[in-house]
Amino acid sequence: MTDAQQSPTAAGSGASATQSFLTTEMYQAVRQVPPERVDAVVRAVLDGVHQAIREHEVTYPEFQAAKAWMIQVGEGGEWPLFLDVFVEHVVEEVQAATQQGTKGSILGPYYLPGQQRLPSPATLPMREDEKGSRLAFTGQVRDVDGNPIAGAEIDIWQADDEGYYSGFAPHVPEGNLRGLVVADDEGRFEIRTIQPAPYQIPTDGPTGQLIEAAGWHPWRPAHLHLIVSGPGHRAITTQLYFRGGEWLESDVASAVKPELVLDPQDQGDGTGRVEYDFVLERDEATAAA
């Protein structure tokens, strides 16, 4: 991030992420979790906390400091930021164990549903003077047997060349570098955009205070976010990274997987070109219905 005056604050980003999450179907699904499941998971989490307190002999001043920090996280709207950066990658790892097809990755806190639908070939909405290296991203969406998925959808969003996301930085236009791209009858798509920059998560709030206190760095490598779906198939949430980029080996969110690293090739016109195919498995619940 190059301009501190334009940097999204932790509170601003947190408020946007919280508002977005509370309106999604993912949040509504929480209401359907049975009491027995809540009891089992919450008890396990508390047992882990209790064990950490005993193992590290946590003192009362440390306990009170932790309590004050958690209050600040809530008041600043940073729970989506904290949980998505430090916890979500393990939830995704557990889910991935039951999935076939393309490797998944975390959703992250910057997803905004309801973006503009764009038939392929598509250019993501961007400013006339959008900075950054041009990127041509092509591929095909298929099922696990190799059959193309007609009308597959690629919900894609990304940071700009300075690491800012629309909807979370006030100077970036709404919907910038976001879109829902619809593949053709052969499941093929072509998306023109710019290559995003690495960015640091907002550090002026309690999450940043924790990172500083622990001596960690706050950086994420450059990446594209995607939710790829198709009729009758299980959607995959993933991220695609760029070979040779900074922070690939030490992503603060622990979300990088080698299978998800792109290697764009300059074809001589200044545009990096890369092809990446997605493989989706059948949604058995939908098939049964």
Higher pLDDT, 29 or 196: 196
Q: Is the model's pLDDT at 135 over the cut of 70?
A: yes
Instruction: For residue 39, tell me if it sits in a domain.
Output: no
Give percent of the chain with pLDDT exceeding 70: 88
Query: How much is the pLDDT for 30?
Result: 63
Report the pLDDT averaged over residues 93-110.
Answer: 93
Per the prediction, the chain carries an average pLDDT of 90
Neighbouring C-beta atoms of residue 273, cutoff 10 Å:
14
Q: Is the model's pLDDT at 4 over the cut of 50?
A: no
Whether residue 77 contacts residue 14, with contact meaning beta carbons closer than 8 Å, is answered with yes
DSSP letter (8 states) at residue 31: T
Using pLDDT thresholds of 50, 70 and 90, give the confidence band for residue 267.
Answer: confident
pLDDT in tens, 34-89: 889 999 999 999 999 999 999 999 999 999 999 999 999 999 889 988 999 999 99
Q: CB neighbours of 263 closer than 8 A, spacing ≥ 6?
A: 242, 243, 274
Query: How much is the pLDDT for 268?
Result: 84
Q: What total number of domains does the chain contain?
A: 1
Q: Is the model's pLDDT at 219 over the cut of 90?
A: yes
Q: Is the model's pLDDT at 288 over the cut of 60?
A: no
Instruction: For residue 238, tell me if it sits in a domain.
Output: yes
Instruction: For residue 58, tell me if it sits in a domain.
Output: no
Place of tokens 């909405």: 125
Instruction: For residue 116, tell me if it sits in a domain.
Output: yes
Instruction: For residue 272, tell me if it sits in a domain.
Output: yes
Instruction: For residue 60, tell me if it sits in a domain.
Output: no
pLDDT in tens, 170-190: 999 999 999 999 999 999 999
Q: What domain range includes position 137?
A: 4-32+78-288
pTM higher than the cut 0.85: yes
* CATH number for position 28: 2.60.130.10
Report the pLDDT averaged over residues 189-198.
Answer: 97
Instruction: For residue 43, tell me if it sits in a domain.
Output: no
pLDDT in tens, 226-250: 999 999 999 999 999 999 999 999 9
Instruction: For residue 69, tell me if it sits in a domain.
Output: no
Q: Is the model's pLDDT at 1 over the cut of 50?
A: no
Taking alpha carbons only, the member of 83, 232, 223 closest to residue 153 is 232
Q: CB neighbours of 79 closer than 8 A, spacing ≥ 6?
A: 14, 18, 73
Place of tokens 């198709």: 230
Query: How much is the pLDDT for 3?
Result: 43
Higher pLDDT, 15 or 256: 256
